[in-house]
């Protein structure tokens, strides 16, 4: 007599991952031209990009790969410009500016969504994270383990005052490392 198969109903199975709260603005299109602050953390916030010594970032080889891939974003996304950024031991803060179709930058996001889906903020960040992961794996530094935390944090830059405050925060982040919300003791 054949052995009975086990049948699992989806609603009876325990969830592998807890449901995550969506932090994106539901009414906002992340394809609109404007400036955005993004913060991207390493997996489990491990300090794999370098260290802070005397208030200055000392990147290791992986940190230099992160920096290089960040600097290469405009080569892959012609409508994206970089502003202030810093690679910290376990995260990156950076300002990305998505230009409109005419190549003009604007501080506050416009009301018109971009026509190309390619230049969404999520596509830019996803491409960046994939590029770093590929380079790190090819180099042999980290094999088979996650490099990045899922998702990323973004903030829509509202005006010039907001932009200047964010630039100052990024520039001073290494000197304030022990007070940083991402500080894990490394």
Supply the DSSP string of 48-90, one letter for each residue: -SEEEETTEEEE-HHHHHHHHHHHTHHHH-TTEEEEEEEE-SS
Identify the pLDDT of residue 109. Answer: 57
Q: Is the pLDDT of residue 166 over 60?
A: yes
Residue 91 lies in a domain: yes
Q: Is residue 49 part of a domain?
A: yes
Report if residue 14 sits inside a domain: no
Out of 66-75, 77-86, 103-112, least confident range: 103-112
- CB count in 10 Å sphere of residue 170: 20
* CATH (domain of 152): 3.30.70.1290
Is the Cβ–Cβ distance between 82 and 95 less than 8 Å? Answer: yes
Considering its fold, how many domains does the chain have in total? 1
The answer to the question of residue 140 being in a domain is: yes
Residues 89-129 have pLDDT tens digits of: 999 999 999 997 655 555 555 555 544 445 689 999 999 99
Determine the length of the chain.
186
Q: CA distances (Å), 80 to each of 9, 42, 72, 99, 106, in order?
A: 45, 23, 10, 6, 12
- Specify the pLDDT at position 16: 54
pLDDT of 8 > 70? The answer is no
Chain centre to alpha carbon of residue 100: 21
Q: Is residue 21 part of a domain?
A: no
Average pLDDT, whole number, for the chain? Answer: 81
Is residue 92 situated within a structural domain?
Answer: yes
Query: Residue 127 half-sphere exposure, CB side, CA atoms within 13 Å?
Result: 17
Q: Are 126 and 102 in contact (CB under 8 A)?
A: no
Going by their DSSP bridges, the two strands 50-53 and 34-41 should be labelled as unpaired
User: Does any domain span residue 12?
Assistant: no
Domain range for residue 61? 26-177
9 within a domain of the structure (yes/no): no
The residue assigned the tokens 């964010």 is 166
């Amino acid at each position: 007599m054949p052995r009975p198969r086990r049948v699992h109903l989806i609603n009876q199975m325990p969830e592998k991952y807890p449901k995550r709260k969506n932090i994106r603005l539901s009414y906002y299109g992340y394809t609109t031209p404007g400036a955005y602050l993004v913060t991207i953390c390493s997996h489990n916030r491990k300090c794999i990009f370098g260290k802070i010594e005397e208030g200055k970032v000392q990147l290791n080889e992986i940190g230099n790969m992160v920096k290089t891939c960040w600097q290469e974003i405009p080569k892959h996304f012609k409508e994206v410009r970089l502003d202030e950024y810093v690679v910290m031991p376990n995260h990156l803060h950076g300002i990305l500016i998505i230009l409109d179709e005419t190549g003009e930058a604007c501080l506050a996001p416009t009301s018109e969504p971009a026509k190309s889906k390619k230049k969404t903020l999520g596509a830019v960040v996803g491409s960046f994270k994939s590029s770093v992961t590929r380079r790190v794996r090819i180099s042999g530094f980290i094999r088979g383990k996650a490099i990045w935390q899922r998702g990323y944090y973004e903030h829509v830059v509202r005006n010039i005052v907001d932009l200047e405050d964010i630039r100052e925060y990024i520039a001073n982040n290494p000197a304030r490392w022990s007070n940083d919300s991402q500080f894990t003791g490394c």
